[in-house]
Structure 1
Amino acid sequence: MSSHKSHAQQTREWLLKQLENVGDKEECTLSIGQDQAVLIYLKTMTDPITVQEQLVNRFYELNDLDQYHNFVSSFPSVKEAKDQDELLGSLLKGQVIVCIGDQMYMFDALLVQGATVSDAKTENVIQGPTDSFTESLDTNMNMIRRRYQSANLKAEYMAIGKLSQTRIAILYDDLRVDKAVLKELKERLDNLEADVIQSASEIERFTMTPKWRLFPTMMLSERPDRTVLNLSQGKVVVVIDTTGYVILLPAIFNDFFTAMDDQIQLPPIGWFLKAVRYIGLVATLLLPALYVAFTSYNPEILKMQIALLIAGSRATVPYPSFVEVIFMLLAMEFLTEASVRLPKAIGPTATTVGGLILGTAATDAGLVSNIMIILVAAVAITNFVIPMSMMSFGIRLAKYGFIMLATFFGLVGIVLGIISMILYLASLRSFGKPYLKMFAIRKLTEEGK
Structure 2
Amino acid sequence: MQTIVSSKSELLESYQKVRSHTQYLCEPLEIEDFVVQPVMDVSPLKWHLGHTTWFFETFILKPHMKGYQEFHPKYPILFNSYYISAGDRWSRENRGQLTRPTVNEVFEYRKYVDEHVERFLSGGDINDRIEEVLILGCNHEQQHQELFLYDIKRILGDNPLHPAYRKDEKKVKKVESKAEWLNVDEGIYEIGFEGDGFHFDNEEGRHKVFLHEYQISSGLVTNGEYMEFIKDGGYRNHMLWLSEAWDWVNENQIKAPRYWHQEGEEWWNYTLGGYEQVLEDDPLCHVSYYEADAFARWRGCRLPTEHEWEVACNMYSPNILSETNFVENNQFRPAQTSDFDFFGNVWEWTVSPYVAYPYYNPPEGALGEYNGKFMVNQMVLRGGSFGTSKNHIRSTYRNFFHPHLRWMFSGIRLAKHI
- TM above 0.5, one fold? no
The structure showing larger relative contact order (alpha-carbon pairs under 8 Å, at least 6 residues apart) is 2
Task: Kindly indicate which of the two structures has a greater share of residues assigned to helix.
Answer: 1
Q: Which protein has the larger Cα radius of gyration, Structure 1 or Structure 2?
A: 1
Give me the TM-score of the superposition, normalised by structure 1: 0.21
Give me the TM-score of the superposition, normalised by structure 2: 0.22
